[in-house]
Amino acid sequence: MSTRTTLTPRPSRVVERVEVPERLVRLTQVAQCLRDRGLPEEVIQDLVTATEPNLITLEEASEKYTLRPDRIRMWIRRGHLEEGGRQRFHAPGGGKILVNEDDIAHLCANPPKDGRPPKDKKVA
């Protein structure tokens, strides 16, 4: 008599770690300070959400604003755009880059000048 052993698959657990930018850490510290001073929670939440950046992934930004992802990476490398943080995964390559959606919209409306600056003409 043959017995058949079936293995039940384990549910995969994806552990996600999000690196929090320093300004968000400061916001939580400010919120705690306001709580200590007795400010109502509704007022604190309004203040925090008004100053909290709207972070989206690089892929979401490229789809929404019809940009190539390497263009956004180039803006980050050249200092035109600040990286808002990273979603970390336990996988090779690190994770996903987060950027502020308002900054992307501003750069799409006013793109930085690319290329070499014009040469100065010498006056003889």
Q: What is the pLDDT of residues 36-54, one digit of tens each?
A: 888 888 877 777 666 656 8
* 3-state SS record for 6-39: CCCCCCCCCCEEEECCHHHHHHHHHHHHHHHCCC
Q: Which domain holds residue 37?
A: 16-52
Q: Which of 4-18, 38-52, 78-92 has the lowest mean pLDDT?
A: 4-18
Domain count, the chain: 2
- Shared domain for 24 and 73, answered yes or no, is no
Give this prediction's pTM.
0.52
Are 47 and 77 within one domain? no
Is 121 contained in some domain?
no
